[in-house]
Structures are given as C-alpha cells and as structure tokens.
Chains A and B, each alone.
Chain A
Amino acid sequence: MALPTDGLVLVVKRDCPTCELIAPVAKTLQDSNRLSHVLSQDDPSFPDGLDVIDDRELEGSFGLDIEIVPTLIRRESGTETARAIGWHRGEWQTLTGDDSLGLDLPEQQPGCGSLSVAPGMNEELRVRFGDAGLKSRTVSVGYPDDEIEQMFDRGWTDGLPVVPPTPARVLRMLDGTTRPADDIIGNVPPSLTACSIEKAAVNAVMAGCRPEYFPVVIAALEAAIEPNFSWYGLLSTTMGVGPVVVVNGPVTKRIGMNWGMNVLGHGNRANSTIGRALQLISSNVGGAKPGGIDRSTLGHPGKRGVCFAEDETDETWESLATSRGIAPDTSAVTVFAGCGASVFMDQISKDAGSLAKSLASGLRGVGHPKHVQSYGAMLVLSPEHWQVFKRAGWSRSNVHEAIHDASIRPGEELVHGAGGITEGMPLQFADGDHAKFADDALVITQAGGHAGLMSVIIPGWDAGSTGTIPITKEIKS
C-alpha cells in the first residue's frame, strides 16, 4: 500500500469508543474534502458513510507508525508535518485550521491502542511489510507439510519437537537483548563456526525460550565457548558430559527460574529451555551431532540441557557467582562440565563434621573411587543439608574446606592394583596422601526443596588446565 503523499489522513478502528466519538467530525472533514484518506483497522464500513480504505492487513497503520487510534496526520509531499493522537479538540482544530471543529464534543478523550502495536503484531508486520533485517536464509514449508516434521527431517532438533523459528518469533527473541543481530558471540565447537546473536536467537526460539531468557542464553554461550571450558572436548569425548548452567542474581526471580523443589527436573520453562538452547546451538551451529563428532558412549538425559538457579534466599549462603568473583546482586551464569546427576542420601548426620565426611565419601566415587586430581564435580547441596552446616556456624568456604580435607586418601590405597583392583592411579602416587579434587575442581551450589536430607552429586569431566575449568560470566542486557 502506497502511503498518501498529501492531505489529512485519519486512522481509526470501530472497536474504539473515541473513534466512534469523532466519527461525525471525520464525516464533516471528508464531506468538505478536507480529509483525503481514512484508514480503518478492523471494519472497512466504519465510520459509516465515509470513503474508507480497508487497512485490516494493517500495512498502512504500520507504514504510518500508528500507536493510538484515532490518529490524525497531515502529510505534505510525502512527509508528515503534523500529528494529533486521540481526540483533543484544540489539536484537531490547529491541525485542520478549523476553529469550529468538534464544539459539541468533550474537550479531549484519549484514544485506544492501535491494532498494529498489539502484543506480537509489530514483529509480524515488520516481516510482512518492513525490513526484518534477518541475515539467515529462510526455508519455506508448503501446506500441508508439517513444519515440526520438516525440522526433524532436516536434523534441526535434539530428538524432541522444537518451536518453529518463524521470522516474527526470531525478531521477538532479538528484542530480548540490546545487542545487534549481527554481533558475533564467538566460535562454536566442534566446527568452530562463528555464531551471531541472530543464530543464537533462532535456536533459543526452537528451544522454547522467552525473549527475557535470551541474555542468559547469550552469557551461557559466551562462557561455554571460552577455550578453558573446553566445550570442544565435551562434545567429542566418549564420556557423556555437557554444560550444566547455574544462574545467579536478580535475573533468576525476574524470569521466574526454579531453585526449589524438583530444581534439576522438569516443570519450569526457563530452567528447561535455557540449557536446551545451548545444546541446540552446539548441534545446529557447531555441528555436534550424536554419532558424528559427538562420540559419547552412553550420554545422559541432561545432555539435552541442564540449567537451574541457585537458592539465594538465605543471605548467610554466599552465592556461587559471588564466590567466583562476581559482585553481589549482579546476575551471572556459571557453566560446569557435568555428567549424569545422582542423589546422595544422608538422613542421619546432624553434626557438620559428620555430614562433610559423609558427602566426601560420596564424592570420592566420582569417575572412580581410586582416581584423584582427575575429575571435577558439582555438589548441589539441598537446603536441609545446608541447615546442618549453618547451625554449626559454617560458611560456604568452611563446607568446601571440610569436604576437601575429608576426601584425602593415602596414595597406597589409590594406585594400580590396590584393593585387588587394577584400575587406579599410577604407582608414583603411592607416596603421600592425595585429595580427591584439584583446586577449583569441586563446585558447590545450593538448591532444591526445603524438605529432604539428601543432596545431588553431578560428576564432572577431566578437570583443570588440561581439561575443563568452570567459567562464570556476568549476564548483560
């Protein structure tokens, strides 16, 4: 639709009491040839008796950037020179140059929202009539083909259905960040392909994210592609391991994340989709396909994506992000290379020292009980287990230190052949005592329902500079 180049243009909809109110004024203006164009958004027979342009497709309203109806616009030589929004007698009189206009109407009455700015409509109209600005190629799915099945056929999914990434949905996702769509986040392994904000947004749509989750997805991706995280290794190893994303800070409340009951399970959209978006990016952009570069022997259900918020409701608990150098009240993600989670029961220890020893005994089993200084681990401490430590006046660092100390074993129990088990550490470990984890290889978080004397151990992958190091990144808008 070509926009009117000259004259007065009025945009209305029938479903608007103010538009009904000014209908007689519109008729007066058109009858005296002063109103050149009337666009109706919902009913081309409204206002009655006028020559109306049918704008149910909203192309005219979009092109004129209408936010409120009625809107009266003066255009001269293709340029807008004046605009009156809603009904304001003085403004309409000035705009039309007619002091007698609408004297029988109230002085002013606010208008109604334009259909062109209804939630979700703007992106649809940008795709249909504007420049959506997307760089990715598009794929047309003809009726009656099913786009869900098409996406399976194209290998775009993780084995579960994904949300069709229509251009409008991608634009809505891009509205979740202030970063331009063509910004490059970094190179995604294993193909080390550059991933733009736009490509991340497409995959976030498919994962089921809402736009407000998108900054968390971006930060998690920035963390995962840090060379020290070694995502390339995670994607190609025979061990079933993938990024575990822990979210801290105000964003967790804002986007409705779960840090309570069933925190590592299903049921919360943000928890379920943020980690999945990361996995889809590695698969679709990085090319990590199971059976291809992804050589995992067994995998684990969490490889579809694990993401959860830490419980920060107890101020005496130092958050994971804060313990890793992020300022308090700042939103951040931490990525950890994790295998399948397993529950660790201790319903008897009421003494902090006993519980630390108990947890250490469980953590010694990570990888293999005779392996030390090899793997990382994440301990998801339940609130009830944390209460045992808290009652003793312990802090996060006290818990960490006590578990570390309790994990130390004599080398002679760890080496090849010890205990009648060939597996174990090389013989040079026989001398001295050895802690299970190298520095920073044990990550402790606190989350879960408030009933249950149990915690969860998420075994990690090769830890340290030759393997993976957890990475924490601030979440920016």
Chain B
Amino acid sequence: MRQSSTLVDPTAENLSAERHRLKPPAALDGLTVALLDISKPRGDIFLDRIEEKLGAKGLSTKRYRKPTVSKKAPNEIFDHIVDECDIVVEALAD
C-alpha cells in the first residue's frame, strides 16, 4: 500500500492578525476628520466637497495626500493622521 507523503509548506507560515473595525462614532461633534487623497484622479474634487459639507456642519478637517497612488503611503502620513485626527475619509477610486 502506498505510504503517506510529506510536503514542505510553501507559505510564510504566519497568520494575519485579525482586527475588527472600530465602531463608527455615535456623533461627529468635536471630532477631527482626516481627508486622505491617495493621488487618484478626481480624488481631490471628491474631498473638496466632503470638506465643504463637513465644514458647514462646523466640523474640523485636515487634508493629507499620498505622494503617489502606485505605492503604499509613507508611515509618516499614518503617524500624522493617528496623532491629529479621530476618523478618516479616504478617496479611494477615481
């Protein structure tokens, strides 16, 4: 009878930590909203409108922009957003 066989694992052998999304805040009052432009065409137009609408509600916003859509955002941008803002709106696609 044929024996069992042994295979060498080709994967990284690590599992991604599963992180649950934070619950959305019940209200936006007093929060600062990060508006992240990933440099996709027309992302700025979308975020201009969001900024305008949030401003009309008296909310403060801060703008951030990735240098290029093609590469992951530098860690400094993440650090600034975490330090300065409470929630993020990202213009993901054109």
Contact = CB atoms under 8 A, between A and B. Distances in A.
A466 B3 contact: no
B67 interface: yes
A136 B5 contact: no
Residue from B4, B70, B71 with most neighbouring chain A CB atoms (10 Å): B70
Interface residues of B, number: 21
A354 interface: no
A166 B5 contact: yes
B75 to A, nearest CB: 12
Contact of A144 (B2, B6, B14, B71): B2
Given A232-B71, A467-B70, A139 B9 contact: yes
- Which DSSP category, helix, strand, loop or mixed, fits chain B's interface? loop
B70 A233 contact: yes
Residue from B10, B13, B14, B69 with most neighbouring chain A CB atoms (10 Å): B10
Interface residues of A, number: 41
B56 interface: no
Contact of A191 (B4, B6, B7, B12): B12
A139 B2 CA distance: 17
A170 B8 contact: yes
Contacts, number: 91
A292 to B, nearest CB: 10
B12 A193 contact: yes
A203 interface: yes
Nearest to B93: A238
A138 B7 contact: yes
Interface in B34-79: 67-72
A38 interface: no
A136 B13 contact: yes
Interface string A125-150: 00000000010111111111101001
Contact of B11 (A166, A170, A284): A284
A147 B7 contact: yes
**A-B pairs with lowest CB-CB distance, top 5:** A466-B68, A193-B12, A233-B70, A467-B70, A202-B10
Given A166-B8, A466-B70, A468-B70, 14 more contacts: A137-B9, A137-B13, A141-B5, A143-B1, A145-B4, A151-B7, A165-B10, A167-B6, A167-B8, A199-B10, A202-B9, A285-B12, A287-B16, A462-B69
